[in-house]
Amino acid sequence: MYKGYIPEDKVFLAVDCIIFGFDDEDLKVLLIQRDFEPEKGKWSLMGGFLKQNETLDDAASRILYRLTGMHDIYMEQLYAFSEVDRDPVARTISTSYYAIINIEKHNEKLIESHNAKWFSLSKVPNLIFDHNEMLDKAIKRLRRRTSINPIGFELLPEKFTMRQLQKLYEAILDKELDKRNFINKIRSMDILIKLNEKDMTSSTKGSYLHMFDQEKYNQKNDNDFYLKL
Amino acid sequence: MYKGYIPEDKVFLAVDCIIFGFDDEDLKVLLIQRDFEPEKGKWSLMGGFLKQNETLDDAASRILYRLTGMHDIYMEQLYAFSEVDRDPVARTISTSYYAIINIEKHNEKLIESHNAKWFSLSKVPNLIFDHNEMLDKAIKRLRRRTSINPIGFELLPEKFTMRQLQKLYEAILDKELDKRNFINKIRSMDILIKLNEKDMTSSTKGSYLHMFDQEKYNQKNDNDFYLKL
DNA sequence: TCAAAAGTGTTTATAATACACCCATGG
DNA sequence: CCATGGGTGTATTATAAACACTTTTGA
């Protein structure tokens, strides 16, 4: 990591990624167990250093790809953390990004090779440095963002049931929602396609599958999606 | 500025400040005219480089103080801009902050000595680099923020009339508001003290002055202030 | 036949909007 | 006495919240 000589006035630039996924029950975050000092063995966000010819966005994409094998992940810059002693080894400013991915699509082997593991938000351990703070900020941002933009779909499989969608929102917002009110609100956004296909795994009756309608979504304004839930 | 030798792999860290003020009519932003190359003569946000032993917040405070002579200014980190060629001289990543100040309290002489000037938002010229983009982002953030937190008071004198407050919100949101509805909403927040004192400058009848009630504000949750205007 | 989840509408409460007249004073 | 901006309340509409029963089918 911080190999070789560290000049006195050097400030390192890092990017750390808060990666969210959803497994039909819980909102989860992908963490790696450090196999190097300092803080070896402790859990941490996936991160890396900025390269000379890339933007922060590029760096975040690269880091996300390295861990998940996925391209074109939804992500957003969160905040630049700059406490002078936040990293005990060297002055490092870390710009955090949060990303949300379909938990089924990531590359299991890559994750294993990085000693990474999914943690339910309620079971996140103490992380290195200020990474818990980063995670908290990401959760807050995700909550606000999903109230304004229907980005939650990024976390679901292509075809999903209303029940799954509701559980996702409940997990993000950490509160229970009324089934009927929820469906009415989602329907009023008018960006879902109801398929003639049922998911039979969750009940005997089966529940209709839906898809996100990207086209309809593109035709609307952001403001059309404000959902008070 | 970028004096001396610039090593190949050096990334400079800057902070740029979007400084908002309000003059009873328009929302304004404080810009400086560069007296150095590159882009000498062009308008720009006030900025500076991060020092070794300060946080980004520290740097923003320092820059704000240098230009306005004011301490304890309301400010918020906005976004880190990192396009590789955003600054033609050297690779520079700039973390932007926006600040809101009481336009009456700043130090005129300091501003003059920096070739700085207040611009109405509708009259902002082309700025250097990506500074227009920074400003746009700041305006959007300010709009959202003032809908959620009553930070707008930072822009007003200690004692202000309801009319001033309304004009401020109209300037921030760039739309006209109904006088009666506005006052009802503000009142429902219950964080103003109505004084037994009138401002006689604006009309023959005079209008009551109000103060922000910091104590009551502190006792409430952030959620209590969501105002759909 | 029953357990378990899916599906569906209406009523009530709250919040947002639209809207018009009188008041006080200095000139 | 009148022009100017200040101050006030109610009716209507839109949105959010609360709420319970029927349907389906595999075990």
Q: Are A31 and A20 in contact (CB under 8 A)?
A: no
pLDDT digits (tens, 9 = 90+) for B71-113: 999 999 999 999 999 999 999 999 999 999 999 888 889 998 9
Q: Hey, what amino acid is at B195?
A: L
Residues 108-127 of A with CB under 7 A from strand C: none
Same domain, B29 and B67: yes
Domain count, chain B: 2
Q: Do B52 and A91 touch (CB under 8 A)?
A: yes
Residue B56: domain span: 12-148
Q: Assess whether pLDDT exceeds 80 at residue A83.
A: yes
Same domain, A117 and A198: no
For residue A166, CA distances in Å to A152, A177, A221, B151, B197 come to 10, 7, 23, 34, 53
In a domain, B7, yes or no: no
Same domain, A166 and A114: no
Same domain, A180 and A98: no
- Angle, helices A162-173 vs A179-189, to 10°: value is 100
The share of chain A scoring above pLDDT 70, in percent, equals 96
In a domain, A109, yes or no: yes
- Read off the pLDDT of each residue in B5-25 and give the average, rounded to a whole number: 85
Which bases of strand D have any atom within 7 Å of the beta carbon of a protein residue? 3-10, 15-20, 23-26
Q: Which of A135, A10, A123, A19 is nearest to A81 (CA)?
A: A135
Q: Which helix (H) or strand (E) holds B209?
A: strand B207-212
Q: Are B129 and B91 in contact (CB under 8 A)?
A: no
Q: Assess whether pLDDT exceeds 60 at residue A2.
A: no
The separation between the first and the last C-alpha atoms of chain B, rounded to the nearest angstrom, is: 44
The separation between the first and the last C-alpha atoms of chain A, rounded to the nearest angstrom, is: 44
In a domain, B117, yes or no: yes
**Which of A148, A169, A201 is the endpoint of a domain?**
A148
Q: Report the number of secondary-structure helices (H) and strands (E) in chain B.
A: 6, 10
| CA to C1' distance (Å), from B98 to D14 | 35
**Which of A122, A148, A174 is the endpoint of a domain?**
A148
In a domain, A154, yes or no: no
Q: Are A76 and A137 in contact (CB under 8 A)?
A: no
Among B8-12, B35-39, B222-226, whose mean pLDDT is lowest?
B222-226
Same domain, B29 and B89: yes
Q: Are B75 and B69 in contact (CB under 8 A)?
A: no
What is the pLDDT confidence band of residue B5, given thresholds at 50, 70 and 90? very low
User: Residue B84: which of A8, A55, A77 has the nearest Cβ?
Assistant: A55
Higher pLDDT, A1 or B170: B170
What is the CATH classification number for the domain harbouring B178? 1.10.10.10
Same domain, B60 and B113: yes
Same domain, B200 and B178: yes
How confident is the prediction for chain A on average, in pLDDT? 92
Q: Assess whether pLDDT exceeds 80 at residue B221.
A: no
In a domain, B31, yes or no: yes
In a domain, A129, yes or no: yes
Nearest CA in chain A to B56: A82
What is the CATH classification number for the domain harbouring A53? 3.90.79.10
Q: Assess whether pLDDT exceeds 50 at residue B1.
A: no
DSSP B89-157: SS-EEEEEEEEE--TTTS-HHHHHHTTEEEEEGGG---BSTTHHHHHHHHHHHHHHHHHHS-GGGGGS-
Same domain, B140 and B203: no
Same domain, B121 and B165: no
Same domain, B175 and B80: no
| CA to C1' distance (Å), from A125 to D6 | 58
Nearest CA in chain A to B95: A80
pLDDT digits (tens, 9 = 90+) for A132-167: 999 999 999 999 999 888 888 999 999 999 999 999
Same domain, B17 and B108: yes
Same domain, B165 and B118: no
Task: Give pLDDT, residue B220.
Answer: 82
Q: Assess whether pLDDT exceeds 90 at residue A225.
A: no
Contacts of A83 in chain B (CB under 8 A): 55
Contacts of B95 in chain A (CB under 8 A): 80, 82
A181 touches strand C (CB under 7 A): yes
In a domain, A16, yes or no: yes
Cα(A45)–Cα(A34) distance, integer angstroms: 9
Q: Which helix (H) or strand (E) holds A133?
A: helix A131-148
Q: Are A168 and A129 in contact (CB under 8 A)?
A: no
**Which of A148, A172, A201 is the endpoint of a domain?**
A148
Collect all residues with Cβ–Cβ distance below 8 Å to A206 and sequence separation of at least 6. Answer: A198, A199, A200
In a domain, A4, yes or no: no
- Read off the pLDDT of each residue in A201-211 and give the average, rounded to a whole number: 95
